[in-house]
Each structure stands twice: as C-alpha cells, then as structure tokens.
Chain A
Amino acid sequence: MSRFKVTFHPYNKTVEVEKDATILSAAVSAGVPINSVCGGDGVCGRCKVVLKKGSVLMQATGLLSPEEKKRGVYLACLSEVQSDIEVEVPRGSTADFEKISTQELKKTFSDIEDIEPVKPAIRERLFTKMPLTVKLYLSLQPPDLNDKVSDLDRLCGRIKKAENFSALQLGIVNIRNLSELLRSSGWKVTVTLSRRDQTTEITQIEPQDTSLKNFGMCFDIGTTTLTGQLVDLNKSEILGTKTAYNKQATFGSDVITRIIYAREPDGLEKLHCAVTEEMNRMIQELIAEHNVDLNDLTCVLCAGNTTMTHLLLRIDPTYIRKEPYVPTANFIPPIRATEAGIKINPRGLLYCVPGVASYVGGDVTSGVLSCGMNDQAASLNVLIDIGTNGEIVLGHKDYLISCAASAGPAFEGSGVSCGMRATKGAIQKVKISSRDFEPSYETIGGAKPRGICGSGYIDLIAEMLRSGIIDKDGKIKPLEHKRIRQSDMGREFVVVFKDNADSSSDIAINDADIDNLKRAKAAIYSALSCLLKHMGLDFDSVPKIFIAGGFGTSVDINNAINIGLLPDVKRNKIIFVGNSSIAGARAMLLSYEAMEQAEEIARKMTYLDLSTEPAYMDEYMAALFFPHTDLAKFPSVKL
C-alpha cells in the first residue's frame, strides 16, 4: 500500500497516511484541530479545507457550493488522499474550542494549571471518616514452636482483631512475598486495606510503619474540563487541585461526536489515552509538588458523565447514543487503576462514581451527594450543573429526577473566541459604563487579563445589555465607538486592547460568541423549566437552587438572572456550590458511607428524556432571547 504525506497549513504539520485515508483522519493523527461536528459522517459540512497541492477523491456531497468547489474547497471527512497533498485549514473549520494561531492554540492547550477550588456556599457534609483505603500498622507476634499459625493467618487474625473484619482478597504476589517480608521487617508491617463493595482486600503489605502516608486522588472528568485533587486520606485534607482541558476535545467538542469517533480505527484507544495521559500528568505534578511517593497513592476515584467514564475505562460507548440509549454499565465495580492506565500504586484501586443513565452520569450523583439533596432533613431542591452537558436534578430524600441539556462548553470558556477556564488571568467580573462604554474588570489572581471565563461572560453580556451595546437578541449594535468593529464573526466589542492584556490579540466578544452563550443559557433555563413543569411545579415551589459548574469563583446572581440563565426568583434561593462533582468525589474518597449514599442516589434517581418532551423545543426557542421572549417571566429584570 502506498503512503502519502499530508501537510496542513497554517500549522505546518505533516503526517504520513495510507492511500485512501481521509484528510480528517490525517488531521487527527497530525493533531490538527479540524471541526467535525458530525464526527466524520459527512453530514455537517463543517470540516471544509482548501486543497493547495496534490489530488484527493471526494465522495459526492451537496454541502459545498459550486463557488466553493471552484476554489478547491473539500470536506475533509469525505476526501481520500491520492497523492502527497497540502491543504489549508480555514479559520471557520478549526475545532470549536480552538483558535487559529499556533500561539493561541498553545494557550488553549496550555499546561495543567492550579486552581483554588471554589468554596461552596453550603457547609460541607459530614460523613463518618472511613476512607476507601486505610493503612494499618501492625506489630505481629513472631511464631514459635507453640504458636505455629501460618504467616497469612497470623496477619489476617491480627487485622480482624484490629478492625473487626475479615480480609477476603489478597493478591498472589503479596502471599508469595509475605514470609520474607515479615521476617526481614522484624514482624512490623503496614497493610493497606481497600474496600471493594461489601468486602475488603489487602492491597499491599509494606515493611515498617508507613501508615501516616496514605493518599488518594479524586477526579472530575468533564467533557471539556478535567479537575484533579490530591487528598491526604489520614488528615482528610486537600493538598492540591489541578485543572486542564480534556484533550479528547480534539476528537469532538461534545460527547456525541466522541462516541462516533470511538468507532474509528483506534478511536476508542486514542480517546482513552487522551484522558488518561492528562490524568497521569496531573498526578505526577501533584505528587511531585507535595512530596508524595507514587506508592503511597493508594486509590483514585473518578466522577464523570457516563460517556467519560466509558472512555476512561476503554469501554465502547456506541450504544449510549443509539436508541434506546443504554450504556454498558452505570455501576462499575472497583478495578485496579493500572488496568485503566492510571498510574498510582500498582495495586491501587480505581473507583467510579455510579451513574444514572446514558446522559446523567457519576458527576451528577456526586453533585447531589455533596449538596445534601438526599439528606433526611432536606426539602425539595434543584441542582443545576452548568457544564458542556448541563444536568439538572430535582428532588429530595424520597425521589430524585434528572434531565440533561446539551449546553455546550461556552460557560467553561470554550467555543467562544476569547474564552478560557477560570484560572489565573481570566476576566471574571466586568462592569461597563453606560456613558462611554468603557469596561472595568477584575481578573482571577489580579493578573494581566488573558481571556474571559464563564462568570466574566455572564457579567459582560448583562452589562452590554444594560448599557445598550447589544439588543435583546444579542446582536452588537452598529454604534460608532472605538471598541466596536466588524470581525469575521459579526461585530465585536473589545473588552481589553492587547496592549493591556497578556495576549497577542485584543480580548473581545463577538456576535457569534454571544449567540453561543445565548444557546447555552437557553438550554439550561428551558431544561429546568421543563423539568419543573413535568413534575407539576414552578420556580416558586423550590426553596433552594444549587448552581454548580466551572465558570468562575464568583458569579453575580443578578447578572445571571438578567441574561436569563437562571430564573427570576428570590436571590437568596440561589446558592453557588462550585464544582460539586469534585466535592462529592472527595467526600466519597474519604468516607465509604458517602460512597454508599452515592450508590443509593444513583439507584433512586430517575431520568426524564427531554428529547421526547414535546414542550422542550418550544421552551428552548422562547429562551433564545435576553432575558427571555416572555418578559413576564423576569419581572425584576429591567433592561
């Protein structure tokens, strides 16, 4: 089979592929971010490239105009390479979440960053301290002629005496090494015990007392953002938190495209590696910074949506997106972390927070747990997780009902031209003078602005509405002002000129960004409104609305209501809880009791499929306006 070189401009990246490979697959191997909303099915027409040199064979498509064909535009997913070729990736075809220049690309894919976890506005729930793994230091009585109990029985007997439970599992390696280890250590050893459902296993046996060194990692695996936290299991203390974009985004910005991509040759493997490599890098950085030995990292717990969990474990997610939308598993028993490619103690376990359905995963279970919605005393509450796949849960101890709304990654700072995560240098608060349209802003860490995070966008849109820079449809008005100008994506408003920014270009918001954010907020609002209607309730019947998500440290509630992201309710009903998924995951890492409750939550929660709710589309269309087409729903909003 002949092989050909494919060069991508302006990235100057070249890969070699076999004859008849598609340009899209070449782009994927080259790490060139070409937009493929449909995942290469040839139906979305987003992966347009311009052929500069060489020849390709393209399947017939109606998605290109005669004019485009004349210019040499091809759809990357339908074009098979027939010779050495050079193609140009035009601006509009780069994957949603990315920017064009390599410098900016680097910014988006910048390294893992530290974040200060958002302090939730609720008290952390208290669970009995029972970490998923415990280390037990034991000093054993050596055998003698009168006490000829075997080494293993001696050890297990001692564990039973100390903890009053029997170890049911023990690796053969541990048994092989046991006798030598006990004698060389002078019968003083530390055993690591891990919970596995109702049983306990001896994970490892080490010489001497290492019981003070017991650490765990918890992860929130989001479609767009990964968050990892290193926890001292003895002291129940967070040592450090890291965040990074989920690099699976190269293969599609939402779960559906990734599920489709998983069917490509090596697709599943690539998706799996993209996330595990990043997780391993986070682990490496965290343990290095906190002087933790990898062997003392004894367990890892992951909360992710159902697709993310499947990809993490390299389970084929295909059936999640096919009717009747059934995942391979919602409850996944603990496995060895190494089996999933996660590098901690080689015998350490990996736990996944149980999910509910194909589109409501462990991250939601985890959020419900951390907000205490299942608490005996809790009243009827709502949790809204504003992520790429926005999830909403309504209920209390007796019932929990959830739904999912595809909001897109805009509030996580992705898919918008100057968006970034809520890390150092992100504009998180904005005010605009209605007199001269001069913005004033605040960045995370007080650093020079690098971009805008979710909370910054909420403020920005609310302020642009208030000062009359945009109309209620979200279009920037054609005003004569030095900050307003035409761009490729409609008009744009410059928030910070590049001279004052830590960025190679001006930090601006354009019509397309606002449209993206409008769709995101409409998806969330309409899903909430449908879920309540479905249960015969309204906003007034809910005493508390918990808001979770990675959009920033402090969201201005009034602004979130002014743009119609949140319903116009009494402001004190709305409680920001930050990343509730990682908070719940940490609680589970530290307490088996929390883990059991999470399992109960997942078993109990029901799922409302909005795609079969006829009212949803109607609600969504009505919400595509600032704050809402039905102004009567936002009586306190005066714009």
Chain B
Amino acid sequence: MATEVMLEKYSGEVFTVSIGATKQEGGSRSHTIKIGGQKALPYLFPEGAIPNKPVIAYEIWDIPPVDWSAELSSAYGAALKDPFTWAEKCVRDFKAEILCVRLQGAHPEFGNRSAAEEANFIKALLKKIDVPLIITESGDDTKDNQVLPACCEAAKGERLLVGSAAQDNYKTLAAAVLADGHNIIAESPIDINIAKQLNILISDMSLPLERIVINPTIGALGYGLEYAYTIMERSRLAALAGDKTVSSPFICFVGQESWRAKEAKLAVSEMPAWGPEVERGVIWEAVTATALIQAGADILVMRHPKAAAQVGKYIDNLMVRGK
C-alpha cells in the first residue's frame, strides 16, 4: 500500500526583499538579490514555494580588521589593508554576489571617521564594484546615527540593506532608509517579541514591512546556536501562520559569531587535541551557517572564503532538490 505523505499548507508567507537596484531601476548594480518569499518551512519543497536561495554575503571592513585571527586574516592577505582591493578580491576571486561592509572605522575608538568620510567611502566603493551592498554599523549609537544617514544618502537609489536598527535606537536610521529608498536591518536580542515589536515600530514610521530584514542575533555552534535556531523557527512558524509583523527574511552574522569561538581561534599549539586551526575555524563557520540555513536564514554574512565556498556548495545541493 502506498503511503500518503501528509503535507502542511500555510496561509502566510515571508516577504520578498530586493537588495540592489540595477540601471533600469535607477541604481548602478549589476544584479538584484532577492531573498524571502517562502511559503513553507525551510526547504520542505513539497509543502510550498521556496523561490529564493539563501545568499552568502562576504563581510568586509572599511579599516583593517582589528580582532580577526591569523588564520582568518591569511585567507585575504594584504587585501585586508585596503577595503577596495578586499572588495574586489571577494567579487573577482570568490564570486561574491553581495558584500556586507562594516563601518568599523567610524567608531570613536577605531579611527573615528566622520560621516562625510564614510559617505565618500561608500560612494567610491559603489563605483569600484557593482554587486549589491549591505552596510552595517560601527557599534557606537551616537556616531552611527550620523554616519549611517550620510551613507544612505550617498547611496540613494541603490536600494541597499542598511543596519542596524534596535529597539532603543531605530528612528534615525528608519527615517534615512525611508528617505533614500533602502532596506533596513532590524536587530533584536534573540527575542521573538522584540523582533516583532521593532518591526511594528519601524513600520509605524511608514517604512513598509516589506523592506525590513530581521537580524535575530545568533550564537555560533556551541554558543547558543540552538537558542537562535528555535527563535528563528518560532518566528518563521508565526510568519507562515499569517503574522505579517514577523514575516521578514533573516540576516545572520555567521562569521562574526563563529570566529569569536575559542574553538575557531585557538592555535593548535595551545590545544593540540583539537587539531590544526586552519581547518577548525572554517568548519566552525560552515557548520554554524548550515544549521542556520535549516533554521531559515536568508542572508549569511560570512568571513572565511573556504567556509563560504563549502556553504555555497551545500546551498546548491539543497536547491537542486526543489527543482
């Protein structure tokens, strides 16, 4: 007797967010990245449409990274010293479809670059490379509230993804993103309620829910990954059940979290039993990323090109099943 496969059907769907505007759309990007749009839980293809694959965004900084391990830094070599070279390397050598630029240099403790300097940097970067961009903050609220609006304006019409808005600091960025036609990252501390509340607050400022990407905050493997996983799964279930306030795609800062783990960083001399760190960090980042893909991650911001390449293959395999 044939077994009948029980399929779940959902009434809701994840919003589709488009990042990067092409010439026809008034920007200068070579292509547009579309994320979201799912009508089923991650990769349960028979249950509903999964129109877009998860994308890997290569993380680059405006200044040479300050806390990257030797192994991680060696993957880029001298390119780390110049953000333009670094960006080009990602696009040319690693075939990056989208980049995520962290404006760390704006932070008062890391160079304190002015809003105008950063805006010029973004303008120049947009000229140098033509993939869509994600722009993220330095971590100093006061400074970010000057820098990010300036960068939004500099990139007007390019329909980028800019972050991050948080519950206690969302108004300035939301207004800038709205005015200059970008998308926004809404960051919440592994908390589905705050994620929803922030989406409501931002949409109350007339920025449509369709232009929000949630950063649910994640933990790397061994550092709360499962906690992040359940929060993302719960949000996705709510979205599929029709709750529009939490129907945004997810962006996960995988590289940042994975390379913070001591398992990724410690040299083999310090921990002989763990094996060579050359492989360890890459594995740590790749495993964290694949787990989050299963939780519903739409954008994975990654650091090590080898990890990114492995995850890229994994994504291709995954999407083949949907065909």
A contacts, CB < 8 Å to B: 471-473, 475, 477-478, 621-622, 624-625, 629-632
The residue in chain B whose Cβ has the minimal distance to the Cβ of A623 is: B193
Which residues on A sit within 8 Å (CB–CB) of B196? Answer: 629-630
Q: When each residue 162-179 of chain B gets 1 if its CB lies under 8 Å from chain A and 0 otherwise, what string results? A: 000001100100000000
Q: How many B residues touch A, CB cutoff 8 Å? A: 12
A-B contact pairs, 29 of them (CB 8 A): A471-B201, A471-B204, A472-B197, A472-B200, A472-B201, A472-B204, A473-B167, A473-B197, A473-B201, A475-B168, A477-B171, A478-B171, A621-B191, A621-B193, A622-B193, A624-B193, A624-B197, A625-B193, A625-B197, A625-B200, A629-B193, A629-B196, A629-B197, A629-B200, A629-B245, A630-B243, A631-B200, A631-B245, A632-B243
Cα–Cα, bound, A584→B57 (Å)? 66
Which residues on B sit within 8 Å (CB–CB) of A478? Answer: 171
The residue in chain B whose Cβ has the minimal distance to the Cβ of A475 is: B168
**Known interface pairs A478-B171, A624-B197; 6 further A-B residue pairs with C-beta atoms within 8 A, sorted by A's residue number:** A471-B204, A625-B193, A625-B200, A630-B243, A631-B245, A632-B243
Please indicate which of the listed interface residues A475, A629, A630 has the most CB atoms of chain B within 10 Å of its own CB. Answer: A629
Which residues on A sit within 8 Å (CB–CB) of B168? Answer: 475
Closest approach, in angstroms, between the C-beta of B201 and any C-beta of chain A?
5
Closest approach, in angstroms, between the C-beta of B98 and any C-beta of chain A?
31
Which residues on A sit within 8 Å (CB–CB) of B171? Answer: 477-478
Closest approach, in angstroms, between the C-beta of B165 and any C-beta of chain A?
12
Closest approach, in angstroms, between the C-beta of B272 and any C-beta of chain A?
36
Cα–Cα, bound, A475→B197 (Å)? 13
The residue in chain B whose Cβ has the minimal distance to the Cβ of A478 is: B171
Closest approach, in angstroms, between the C-beta of A578 and any C-beta of chain B?
34
The residue in chain A whose Cβ has the minimal distance to the Cβ of B245 is: A631
Closest approach, in angstroms, between the C-beta of A100 and any C-beta of chain B?
26
Cα–Cα, bound, A630→B239 (Å)? 12
B contacts, CB < 8 Å to A: 167-168, 171, 191, 193, 196-197, 200-201, 204, 243, 245
Cα–Cα, bound, A477→B200 (Å)? 15
The residue in chain A whose Cβ has the minimal distance to the Cβ of B195 is: A629
Cα–Cα, bound, A428→B197 (Å)? 29
Cα–Cα, bound, A624→B194 (Å)? 9
Which residues on A sit within 8 Å (CB–CB) of B191? Answer: 621
Cα–Cα, bound, A364→B204 (Å)? 40
Cα–Cα, bound, A472→B204 (Å)? 9
The residue in chain B whose Cβ has the minimal distance to the Cβ of A625 is: B197
Q: A-B pairs with CB below 8 Å: how many?
A: 30
Which residues on A sit within 8 Å (CB–CB) of B200? Answer: 472, 625, 629, 631
Cα–Cα, bound, A475→B204 (Å)? 13
The residue in chain A whose Cβ has the minimal distance to the Cβ of B198 is: A473
Which residues on A sit within 8 Å (CB–CB) of B243? Answer: 630, 632
Cα–Cα, bound, A552→B13 (Å)? 45
Cα–Cα, bound, A472→B200 (Å)? 8
Closest approach, in angstroms, between the C-beta of A581 and any C-beta of chain B?
33
The residue in chain A whose Cβ has the minimal distance to the Cβ of B191 is: A621
Cα–Cα, bound, A625→B197 (Å)? 7
Cα–Cα, bound, A473→B168 (Å)? 9
Which residues on B sit within 8 Å (CB–CB) of A624? Answer: 193, 197
Cα–Cα, bound, A629→B196 (Å)? 6
Please indicate which of the listed interface residues B191, B193, B196 has the most CB atoms of chain A within 10 Å of its own CB. Answer: B193
Cα–Cα, bound, A622→B167 (Å)? 14
Give the 5 A-B CB pairs with smallest separation, nearest first: A621-B193, A629-B193, A629-B196, A622-B193, A625-B197
Closest approach, in angstroms, between the C-beta of B241 and any C-beta of chain A?
10
Which residues on B sit within 8 Å (CB–CB) of A472? Answer: 197, 200-201, 204
Closest approach, in angstroms, between the C-beta of A478 and any C-beta of chain B?
7
Cα–Cα, bound, A478→B191 (Å)? 26
The residue in chain B whose Cβ has the minimal distance to the Cβ of A624 is: B193
Which residues on A sit within 8 Å (CB–CB) of B204? Answer: 471-472
Cα–Cα, bound, A385→B230 (Å)? 36
Which residues on A sit within 8 Å (CB–CB) of B201? Answer: 471-473
Closest approach, in angstroms, between the C-beta of A491 and any C-beta of chain B?
12
The residue in chain B whose Cβ has the minimal distance to the Cβ of A619 is: B193
Closest approach, in angstroms, between the C-beta of B301 and any C-beta of chain A?
27
Cα–Cα, bound, A546→B193 (Å)? 29
Please indicate which of the listed interface residues A471, A477, A621, A632 has the most CB atoms of chain B within 10 Å of its own CB. Answer: A471
Please indicate which of the listed interface residues B200, B204, B243 has the most CB atoms of chain A within 10 Å of its own CB. Answer: B200
Please indicate which of the listed interface residues B168, B197, B201, B243 has the most CB atoms of chain A within 10 Å of its own CB. Answer: B197
Cα–Cα, bound, A471→B204 (Å)? 8
The residue in chain B whose Cβ has the minimal distance to the Cβ of A621 is: B193
The residue in chain B whose Cβ has the minimal distance to the Cβ of A620 is: B193
Please indicate which of the listed interface residues B167, B168, B196 has the most CB atoms of chain A within 10 Å of its own CB. Answer: B196
Closest approach, in angstroms, between the C-beta of A308 and any C-beta of chain B?
34
Cα–Cα, bound, A629→B195 (Å)? 9
Cα–Cα, bound, A451→B85 (Å)? 64
Please indicate which of the listed interface residues A477, A478, A622 has the most CB atoms of chain B within 10 Å of its own CB. Answer: A622
Which residues on B sit within 8 Å (CB–CB) of A477? Answer: 171
Which residues on B sit within 8 Å (CB–CB) of A475? Answer: 168
Which residues on B sit within 8 Å (CB–CB) of A471? Answer: 201, 204
Cα–Cα, bound, A472→B191 (Å)? 17
Cα–Cα, bound, A425→B243 (Å)? 44
Closest approach, in angstroms, between the C-beta of A353 and any C-beta of chain B?
38
Closest approach, in angstroms, between the C-beta of B288 and any C-beta of chain A?
26
Closest approach, in angstroms, between the C-beta of B204 and any C-beta of chain A?
6
Closest approach, in angstroms, between the C-beta of B308 and any C-beta of chain A?
35
Cα–Cα, bound, A473→B167 (Å)? 8
Cα–Cα, bound, A251→B138 (Å)? 45
Cα–Cα, bound, A256→B126 (Å)? 60
Cα–Cα, bound, A622→B235 (Å)? 13
Closest approach, in angstroms, between the C-beta of B209 and any C-beta of chain A?
12
Closest approach, in angstroms, between the C-beta of B228 and any C-beta of chain A?
17
Cα–Cα, bound, A630→B243 (Å)? 8
The residue in chain A whose Cβ has the minimal distance to the Cβ of B238 is: A630
Which residues on A sit within 8 Å (CB–CB) of B193? Answer: 621-622, 624-625, 629
Cα–Cα, bound, A478→B168 (Å)? 12
Closest approach, in angstroms, between the C-beta of B61 and any C-beta of chain A?
31
Closest approach, in angstroms, between the C-beta of B219 and any C-beta of chain A?
19
Cα–Cα, bound, A630→B191 (Å)? 14
Which residues on B sit within 8 Å (CB–CB) of A621? Answer: 191, 193
Cα–Cα, bound, A631→B246 (Å)? 11
Closest approach, in angstroms, between the C-beta of B247 and any C-beta of chain A?
13
Cα–Cα, bound, A448→B245 (Å)? 44
Cα–Cα, bound, A631→B200 (Å)? 9
Closest approach, in angstroms, between the C-beta of B239 and any C-beta of chain A?
13
Closest approach, in angstroms, between the C-beta of B278 and any C-beta of chain A?
40
Which residues on B sit within 8 Å (CB–CB) of A629? Answer: 193, 196-197, 200, 245
Cα–Cα, bound, A473→B186 (Å)? 15
Cα–Cα, bound, A621→B196 (Å)? 11
Cα–Cα, bound, A625→B192 (Å)? 13
Closest approach, in angstroms, between the C-beta of A95 and any C-beta of chain B?
27
Closest approach, in angstroms, between the C-beta of A618 and any C-beta of chain B?
8
Cα–Cα, bound, A386→B164 (Å)? 38
Closest approach, in angstroms, between the C-beta of A350 and any C-beta of chain B?
47
The residue in chain A whose Cβ has the minimal distance to the Cβ of B205 is: A471
Cα–Cα, bound, A621→B200 (Å)? 15
Cα–Cα, bound, A632→B242 (Å)? 10
Closest approach, in angstroms, between the C-beta of A462 and any C-beta of chain B?
16
Which residues on A sit within 8 Å (CB–CB) of B167? Answer: 473
Which residues on B sit within 8 Å (CB–CB) of A631? Answer: 200, 245
Closest approach, in angstroms, between the C-beta of A480 and any C-beta of chain B?
14
Which residues on B sit within 8 Å (CB–CB) of A622? Answer: 193
Cα–Cα, bound, A298→B31 (Å)? 89
Closest approach, in angstroms, between the C-beta of B321 and any C-beta of chain A?
34
Closest approach, in angstroms, between the C-beta of B73 and any C-beta of chain A?
34
Cα–Cα, bound, A629→B192 (Å)? 10
Closest approach, in angstroms, between the C-beta of A440 and any C-beta of chain B?
25
Cα–Cα, bound, A630→B241 (Å)? 13
Closest approach, in angstroms, between the C-beta of A625 and any C-beta of chain B?
5
Cα–Cα, bound, A630→B192 (Å)? 11
Closest approach, in angstroms, between the C-beta of B169 and any C-beta of chain A?
10
Closest approach, in angstroms, between the C-beta of A523 and any C-beta of chain B?
15
Cα–Cα, bound, A477→B174 (Å)? 14
